Amino acid sequence: MQITVTVNGDEHTADVEPRLLLVHFLRDTLGLTGTHWGCDTSNCGVCVVWLDGTPVKSCTVLAVMADGRTVRTVEGLADGATLDPVQQGFVQCHGLQCGFCTPGMMMTARWLLDRNPDPSENEIREAISGQACRCTGYENIVRSVQWAAVNKS
């Protein structure tokens, strides 16, 4: 099937298998490997991207379901050379260890802060509750999001 998806502002048209998952379309067809792939079963949350402005686990979405829609990935988070405050927060507060969960965490954090600029610790933890950090770095992930809330761009 031919699909056209706008990813981080750029329109991409490709022929894809109907069964291709969005995470694999992003990584393998478009080469956007910032979106990670951990389980394929909706458990780990490392594959979170925005679909029409809402975070989704991209292993639960077929690429054909994104036809005609917009996707934002971690590659679209920075504004040119200027990191998003969420990215800066992860740097400042050591919000990553191995980095496997980090892109998905940052996409959810940006979405949360866009809707709730001053979230409580519980609200941050609830927002990322569907995403696993194998390094168990949740303390610093929460601190990173709090840093971004204080240091808005």
Site residues, ligand FES (CB under 6 A) = 37-40, 42-47, 57, 59, 96-102, 133-135, 137
Mode of pairing for the β-strands spanning 70-72 and 2-7:
parallel
Question: Rounded distance, CA 4 to CA 102, Å?
Answer: 27
Mode of pairing for the β-strands spanning 54-57 and 10-15:
unpaired
Shortest distance in whole angstroms from residue 132 CB to ligand FES: 7
Shortest distance in whole angstroms from residue 24 CB to ligand FES: 10
CB-nearer residue toward ligand FES: 4 or 134 = 134
Per DSSP, helices labelled H in the chain are 22-24, 85-92, 102-115, 121-127, 138-150
CB-nearer residue toward ligand FES: 39 or 82 = 39
CB-nearer residue toward ligand FES: 49 or 152 = 49
Shortest distance in whole angstroms from residue 46 CB to ligand FES: 5
Shortest distance in whole angstroms from residue 80 CB to ligand FES: 26
CB-nearer residue toward ligand FES: 44 or 71 = 44
With contact defined as beta carbons under 8 Å apart, do 91 and 27 qualify?
no
Measured between its terminal Cα atoms, the distance across the chain in Å is 41
Tokens of 135: 């390094």
